[in-house]
Amino acid sequence: MADGVITSEGEAETGGDGLRGLTYPLGPPPAPGEAIQAAPGVLWLRLPLPMQLNHINVYAIEDGDGWAVVDTGIRTPDSIAGWEAALTGPLAGKPITRVICTHMHPDHIGLAGWLCERFDAPLLMTQLEYVTGRMLSAETGTAPEAGAIFWRAGGWSEPQIERYRQSYGMFAKGMTAMPAGYQRIREGQVLSIGGEDWTIVIGNGHSPEHACLWRKSDDIFISGDQILPRISSNISVWPTEPLSDPLDDWMTSLDRLGDLLPADLLVLPGHGEPFTGVLPRIEALKRGHAVALKRLERTLREPKRAVDVFASLFARPVGDGILGMATGEAIAHLNYLAGQGRARRERDADGVDWWSLTATKDPA
């Protein structure tokens, strides 16, 4: 799956949430098909995911005679059953008026096409998320050689590359066909939903143009995967853009959000429970990456492949199920060091990239 979240060393360190200034005022999550009122006019619902990260939160906002929903769950029979139960249960049989997707990963957009078609509702997304989602959902059929070259450079074995070829097209399988058109939302835009103003706030790095929704009147912030409690968002380089530096985008976004957001927001995240303490959380996420980068620099005293540096980044072993995300996240940290002139890569005759420090002196 293109989306997912790896618990890295950095945030394992921030696990003691109470001590770190986070609270979870809404308590335990709603059962599938049920809802908890997260704020006036805003319901918190949860759908299952068939992955290590086993759930996603979706939110329904009262919108006149119906509901504007934020994110949709991945395309599985269990998600559809969850929606059916919610629609007749807490959503009281009222229609969905708009489908807003924070970003294009299948756990967020997987059922957007299904919901939009069923209710003849528009899809609202940022431009880069919509276009990238359409692009990735068209990746079916035979895996491109560029993908094999990318993963080989990261240090994958031939059997691992073969598994990549076999599983190519997984992104499209996680979603119903995206609507052929959409309504663009953009930074700073104010959406009126049920008579309340929600301001769009954009972040980058986890996905190209991720939208958050902020109701300033009572400081409710639907954060998608841009700010999560407990776990950090996956920041990965993918074969479509091997030299990208999404971690730089991510760190820049965290700085910006830290400056922009007030301390007393209630954050409604895509995964985990709604929480307060957004500013300490942002600081902890930044610190997590800084610590990971420092450990990474230490391990690059000897030349390493991307697959050799997992231990310096992740708190737990990397199995085959998350090998792509882990390798992508390792390359994101390596490309970030390269962008700062702190590391460089050299491709050997077998097409494998070996990373080493540019500086001769030991990093602190």
Q: Which residues bind Zn ion (CB under 5 A)?
A: 3, 107, 225, 270
Distance of CA 154 to the CA centre of its chain: 22
**Nearest-angstrom CA–CA distance, 358 and 11:** 27
Give the number of other CB atoms < 10 A from CB of residue 352.
17
Helix-helix angle 323-339:278-299, to 10 degrees: 80
**Nearest-angstrom CA–CA distance, 47 and 78:** 8
Q: How far is the CB of 225 from Zn ion (least distance, A)?
A: 4
Q: Which CB sits closer to Zn ion, 107 or 249?
A: 107
Q: How far is the CB of 111 from Zn ion (least distance, A)?
A: 14
* DSSP line for 289-308: HHHHHHHHHHHTTS-B-GGG
Specify the amino acid at residue 27.
G
Please choose, from the candidates 52, 109, 100, 49, the residue with its C-alpha nearest in 3D space to the C-alpha of residue 79.
49
Q: How far is the CB of 229 from Zn ion (least distance, A)?
A: 13
Backbone angles phi, psi at 254, to 5 degrees: -60, -40
Q: What is the DSSP letter of 240?
A: T
Q: How far is the CB of 53 from Zn ion (least distance, A)?
A: 7
Q: How far is the CB of 43 from Zn ion (least distance, A)?
A: 19
Find out whether 210 and 257 touch, Cβ atoms under 8 Å. Answer: no
Residue 52 burial (10 A CB sphere; 0-12, 13-18, 19+): middle
Q: How far is the CB of 161 from Zn ion (least distance, A)?
A: 26
Find out whether 310 and 216 touch, Cβ atoms under 8 Å. Answer: no
Find out whether 206 and 188 touch, Cβ atoms under 8 Å. Answer: no
Q: Which CB sits closer to Zn ion, 104 or 116?
A: 104
Q: How far is the CB of 340 from Zn ion (least distance, A)?
A: 28
Specify the amino acid at residue 274.
P
Q: What is the DSSP letter of 186?
A: -
Q: Which CB sits closer to Zn ion, 55 or 94?
A: 55
- Is the dihedral angle over the CA atoms 111, 117, 123, 127 positive or is it negative? positive
Q: Which CB sits closer to Zn ion, 51 or 338?
A: 51
Q: Which CB sits closer to Zn ion, 110 or 288?
A: 110
Q: Which CB sits closer to Zn ion, 107 or 353?
A: 107
Q: How far is the CB of 206 from Zn ion (least distance, A)?
A: 8
**Alpha-carbon distances of 299 from 120, 304, 332, rounded to whole Å:** 54, 8, 16
Q: How far is the CB of 258 from Zn ion (least distance, A)?
A: 21
Q: Which CB sits closer to Zn ion, 222 or 293?
A: 222
Q: Which CB sits closer to Zn ion, 62 or 225?
A: 225
Q: Which CB sits closer to Zn ion, 233 or 312?
A: 233
Residue 157 burial (10 A CB sphere; 0-12, 13-18, 19+): exposed
